[in-house]
Amino acid sequence: LGTRALLLIAIVNLSPVIAAAWSENDATGEDVYPPLWDLAPENLLDFQVKDNKTVINAWNYRERLGAYKSLLNASAKYFTAFGSQNFGNILWGLPLQHGWQFRTGRLADPSSVTSCGYEDGDLLCISVRSWWSCVNYYLAVIPFLGAVEAGLFGQLQYEIELLPPEERRDDFCYSVADCRSRIPELMDDWKAYFEVNNFTLF
């Protein structure tokens, strides 16, 4: 399967996992949200603006989580029929997986060469050396930028730009135009998914 199919399948397949996690956590009284959910940016206005661009550091756990949170909040209106408080939003699988990776240390530098992702270092740092964090980058950035391009966030005052990691910069894309030039078919799929006039749940 190609990258496009894998990304879309991942979301659909995570839906039963989401339901099970919520049921289990409701029974135990545990927090059902990803770690630091309340501290993550709520929408695009909560991110830093620099040089007339909204800048997001997707190699910081809180900011990548904020991109997910913004996406969930902006798409909530499409899922009102599936329950209150946006719990029926199929996109929950993305931030929940990201939170699990953070909680289990999968976003930290596996080589321990740097302190990225460790409590005695920079806990919120997402390591470009982690396979998990690199795969998750595309599970975060492509749906998010597809939604931006589709107009899900409305008319934006500033262009969105994601900051590159300190190393392996050429392995990633950082804006709608950049990602479209590298993986146009995947961007097309996510843009189509978020097109307001043609929005469908499946």
* Beta partners for residue 104, in sequence order: none
- Please state the pTM of the whole predicted model: 0.83
Each residue's pLDDT expressed in tens, for the chain with a length of 202 residues: 444 444 444 544 444 444 444 444 444 345 789 999 999 999 999 999 999 999 999 999 999 999 999 999 999 988 888 888 888 898 999 999 999 999 999 999 999 999 999 999 999 999 999 999 999 999 999 999 999 999 999 999 999 999 999 999 999 999 999 999 999 999 999 999 988 644 554 4
Does residue 9 lie within any of the structural domains?
no
Does residue 21 lie within any of the structural domains?
no
Q: How far is CA 198 from CA 15, 131, 150, in A?
A: 22, 35, 11
Does residue 159 lie within any of the structural domains?
yes
Does residue 135 lie within any of the structural domains?
yes
Burial per residue of 143-162, b for 16 or more beta-carbon CB atoms within 10 angstroms, e otherwise: bbbbbbbbebbeeeeeebbb
Does residue 57 lie within any of the structural domains?
yes
